[in-house]
Structure 1
Amino acid sequence: MEFDREQDMLRAASMYYLQDLKMEVIARHLGTSRSTVSRMLKQARASGLVEINLRPSSTRAPGLGRSVAAAFGIDSYVVPVPDSASHLERLTQVSMTAARLLSSWFDSDMVMGVAWGTTLASVSRFLVPKPTRGAAVVQLNGAANMRTSGVEYASDLISSFGTAFGAAVHHFSVPAFFDYPDTKAAMWRERSVRRVLDMQERADIAVFSVGAVAGAVPSHVYSAGYLDDADIEVLRDEGVVGDVCTVFLRADGSWQDIAVNTRATGPDPHQLEHVPRRLCVVAGDNKVAPLLAALRAGVVTDLVVDEITAGLLLEQVEQARPHRSRTRA
């Protein structure tokens, strides 16, 4: 009973503080009264589950969140940060928010798919332990590469999610990219690999970030030996701006005819669309172009993004719109 009360308190606090829902709506969702929800929120603050920080009234986060949600038809959580915030500070803030959301969403008998990367490694450090029963965490993309195995890095990351939720962990012991599409096709017929792919297809939640080809802070897949010079040249020629789960995207969200994707081991946008909730976690100026590509590809249902990145995203959307004529017919 104590565990159930704590879970209801966590859900109520998440819906009130992160999703901006009214107490009456939360009460209906939890099957309780408004006064009970009010008590839960007070207990959440008293216990330290909720920490309230005052920020300058000039923050644009709420308005940006509504604009992003309206522009792309998703649930958007824009995290307030000062204009002077460093990349690490922005990453930390979005990671904390994403970790809290995952704790409120993920529960017993659910499957969570996790794509490895720098951002998800940061999210893993802020996960709040939450015991579950019959739950599983599955790795979404392979990790081995031609310089190092890459497996230990991804394994530790995925295991940290499993540990936080007391969930069974399913590692994906294949390369991030095969050398030949035929090799991938053959491996996909192996029963040991098929078992992990089947678990991926059962995912209730997928959590990932976007990889950026360019920028001061290169994404892990571009800086840790996963691609050779010839691959990078092909990506440039194809107009690739980034990736989701190591599947590469152009600025318009297209991906089907990019040759490297036939060797990639992560789920493509069409496969991701079968996951009911798809959380994308993003921070950083260089992530704007790949984030917009991911949104155009339709792979995101929920977005956690810092205030600065959200503002740059909307500026890029506005610039992409056809300019209206200043003269009247």
Structure 2
Amino acid sequence: MVERASSDPKVASALRAAQLYYLQDMTMDAIARELGTSRSSVSRLLSHARDTGLVEVRIHQPQGEELRLEEAIRERFGIAAHVVPAPRTLSDVERFERVALTAARQLPLHFDSNMTLGIAWGSTLDAISRHLPKKVTHNSTVVQLNGAGNTFTSGVDYASEILHRFGEAFGAAVQQFPVPAFFDDPRTKEAMWRERSTRRILDLQARADVVLFGLGSPFAEVPSRVYIGGYLDRADYRSLREEGIVGDVATVFYREDGSWQDIELNRRATGPGFTVLARASRRICVVSGIQKLASLRGAIAARLITDLVLDEDLAEALVDG
């Protein structure tokens, strides 16, 4: 779909090139002759049109392996899946980037004006934020779902950079959550949660229309930030092993059967409980790598996911398991 643009010269040129390429079926060489420019300049104009949201490319996939997996996931789990083709020759890092790019291109289909988007910081959201296309929205908000501070850093710079990219991509207001990822004492958290300034953010989180998250895992080749960023000490790791933890969403941990409420570390975690996340009508999980299969199964068992973006190998393992 090609949209109308403003009077900005670069935008106008990008729109003209996109109309000729996508609607008139002209080659880039023919467009270059018509616009009096080079083929490489036309390529850059088309990229600019896609990146700024002038053009939305949608693929209607015929019957094939990815579609078979998507249908199987929908039938078995009631989840709308988008399976990303990824040959087994790819490294986990390359697979991760491919899935993140796909998720970034899918998000504008689900987030629009007058909506609130909740995001859980982490390696996955960081990667997605770097690939977001532009989409202008109005009266929209991006809210941070969990704190990012620990004993080594406030986490503000890292989390705010991710939030800023989302806010800039959608023209949305950004609401940070400047608290630790984990409190030392659950009583401190309880007191903080009674503060009006904190309650304002918690209320925003609870009213989110869309939440976007990755799955933290201690087993993945692409490390989850919560496990490598100084957020957990030896006692915490021992507790996670003893309680059979397979992953976390927004620093709230869970087991493979989806249980989470009786996990001790969650009393100190600042991420929203899964009952809060479940209020969002669309809950988009982005995950890659076969090492996250147990994490994904647990998140599905917890009924956290309405939409899923994942790589082909992980989808196959999920369906076959």
Calculate the TM-score normalised by the size of structure 1.
0.79
Amino acid at match of 2:243: E
Structure 1: any 5+ residue segments left out of the alignment? 7-38, 318-329
CA offset at residue 88 of structure 1? 2.3
Query: Where do residues 46-195 of structure 1 align in structure 2 (5 Å cutoff)?
Result: 49=55, 60-195=65-200
- Checking the alignment, whether the CA contact within 8 Å between 2:136 and 2:170 is kept in structure 1 is yes
1:235 corresponds to which of 234, 240, 245: 240
Cα RMSD for the two superposed structures = 2.5
1:244 and 2:223 aligned: no
Give the secondary structure class of the aligned counterpart of 1:214. Answer: coil
* In structure 2, distance between residues paired with 1:79 and 1:70: 18
**Residue by residue, what CA displacement relative to the aligned partner does 1:215-253 show, whole Å, maximum 9, x if unpaired?**
333211001001111001000000001111111011111
The answer (yes or no) to whether the contact 2:93–2:222 under 8 Å persists in 1 is: no
Any gaps of 5 or more consecutive residues in structure 2? Answer: 6-18, 27-45
The 8 Å contact of residues 44 and 50 in structure 1, kept in 2 or not, is answered as: no
Deviation at 1:50, TM superposition (A): 5.6
Matched residue pairs, number? 279
| Cα distance in 2 between the residues matched to 1:82 and 1:43 | 32
Residue aligned with 1:231, SS: helix
CA distance in 1, matches of 2:182, 2:303: 23
The residue that corresponds to 2:219 in the other structure is 214
Question: How much does 1:42 deviate?
Answer: 5.0
More displaced, 209-218 or 245-254? 209-218
Residue 52 of structure 1 deviates from its aligned partner by: 8.9
Matched residue SS, 1:243: strand
Percent of residue pairs identical = 50
Q: CA deviation digits over 1:158-188, x for unaligned, max 9? A: 1110110010000000000111111001000
**2:16 equivalent in structure 1:** none
Pick one of 287, 312, 316 that aligns with 1:311: 316
Partner of 1:299: 304
Checking the alignment, whether the CA contact within 8 Å between 1:59 and 1:80 is kept in structure 2 is: no
With the length of structure 2 as denominator, give the TM-score of the two structures. 0.81
Partner of 1:204: 209
- What residue identity is the alignment partner of 2:205? Q
Return closer, same or farther for 1:93/1:217 CA change in 2, 3 Å cut-off. closer
Matched residue SS, 1:212 = coil
- The list of structure 1 runs, each at least 4 consecutive aligned residues, that deviate by more than 6 angstroms after superposition, is none
User: What is the one-letter code of the residue matched to 1:314?
Assistant: V
Provide closer, same or farther for how the CA distance between residues 292 and 189 of structure 1 changes in structure 2, counting only shifts above 3 A: same
